[in-house]
Amino acid sequence: MDNHNIVTKKVKDFVAYLTLNRPEHSNSLNRAILLALRHELETVAFDDSVRVVVLTGAGEKAFCAGIDLKERAAMPKDKILASREEVIKPVFTTLARFPKPVIAAVNGVAFGGGAEVALACDIRIASSKARFAQAEIRWGMIPACGACQRLRMIVGMGRAKEIIFTGRVIDADEGLALGIYNQVVQPENLMAEAEKLALDIAKNSPVAVKQAKKALDIGAHISESLDFEFEASKECYFAGEALTGPEKF
């Protein structure tokens, strides 16, 4: 696929619709899609014709299956660590600090880094086919882009530890009960419901919405914790167990 279209954008009625567009790879996060997503976010952040963003994945199978492990497995360790610092971390920082509301329309699996993309959004609406997992632990890693902090704030410390320590898959109904999702709808209604919510937000004062988001996010006080989480994940690489797969353990 042409990397120029690896993240697509449509703007209508003050809403920008961004789509991760690697359906043949379950919209997994390779270098190209990460750079494209950051570019589109930085562009719409300063676009006055956009007040709300809806982020989704192409196809019916996946919202985002996480980091592209095939690409990463082919990289030497020093390149992996450099990519994490120079590409991955800046994208998640841009998304988490985005000045306008971002709604994740979770249309399928959201695993690993894909789950963290969803968690970094302000609101999550899921298809009944959605599946959520912080499965990094099964690959000798830990979530490194905010899940250790954001998930515990959403579901509570005990449940967050269970989800991260086991790497188990959570279906849409359980995700709704836990508070991971704000709504669960039928697959054919997902984008319509996301659009409805986005338009409901967009009709309000953009200044007031931005300030409300800022006040809510600042109240979380997690920037230092996020930095520690990212640094802690490096130990998995230094230990030599990262990406070895479940069979090693």
Map out the domains of the chain with their CATH numbers: 3-188 (3.90.226.10)
Q: Quick one: what percent of the chain has pLDDT higher than 90?
A: 69
Distance of alpha carbon 237 from alpha carbon 164, whole angstroms: 18
User: Residue 103 belongs to what H/E stretch?
Assistant: strand 102-106
**pLDDT grade for 82, boundaries at 50, 70 and 90:** confident
Please check the confidence at residue 9 and state whether its pLDDT lies above 80. yes
Long-range pairs for 92-99: beta carbons < 8 A, 24 or more residues apart: 92/116, 92/117, 92/120, 92/145, 92/146, 94/38, 94/41, 94/42, 95/37, 95/41, 95/120, 95/121, 96/120, 96/146, 96/217, 96/226, 97/217, 98/41, 98/45, 98/53, 99/45, 99/210, 99/213, 99/214
Please check the confidence at residue 2 and state whether its pLDDT lies above 70. no
Does 230 or 61 have the greater pLDDT score?
61
Give the pTM.
0.90
Please check the confidence at residue 180 and state whether its pLDDT lies above 50. yes
Question: Which residues 6+ apart lie within 8 Å of 33 measured at CB?
Answer: 6, 7, 20, 21, 22, 27
Picking from 123, 118, 153, the residue whose alpha carbon sits closest to that of residue 133 is 118
Q: Quick one: what percent of the chain has pLDDT higher than 70?
A: 89
Distance of alpha carbon 20 from alpha carbon 23, whole angstroms: 8
User: Residue 160 belongs to what H/E stretch?
Assistant: helix 157-166
- The encoded tokens of residue 12 equal 């209508």
pLDDT, residue 1, reads 46
pLDDT digits (tens, 9 = 90+) for 90-146: 999 999 899 999 999 999 999 999 999 999 999 999 999 999 999 999 988 889 888
Cα 186 → chain centroid: 21
Distance of alpha carbon 49 from alpha carbon 187, whole angstroms: 28
Worst-scoring range by mean pLDDT, 110-114, 128-132, 157-161, 212-216? Answer: 212-216
**pLDDT grade for 219, boundaries at 50, 70 and 90:** low
Distance of alpha carbon 58 from alpha carbon 27, whole angstroms: 7
Worst-scoring range by mean pLDDT, 29-43, 61-75, 197-211? Answer: 61-75
Distance of alpha carbon 65 from alpha carbon 113, whole angstroms: 7
pLDDT, residue 24, reads 95
pLDDT, residue 73, reads 77
Please answer whether residues 31 and 87 qualify as being in contact, where contact means their C-beta atoms are separated by less than 8 angstroms.
yes
Task: Enumerate the active-site residues.
Answer: 116, 136
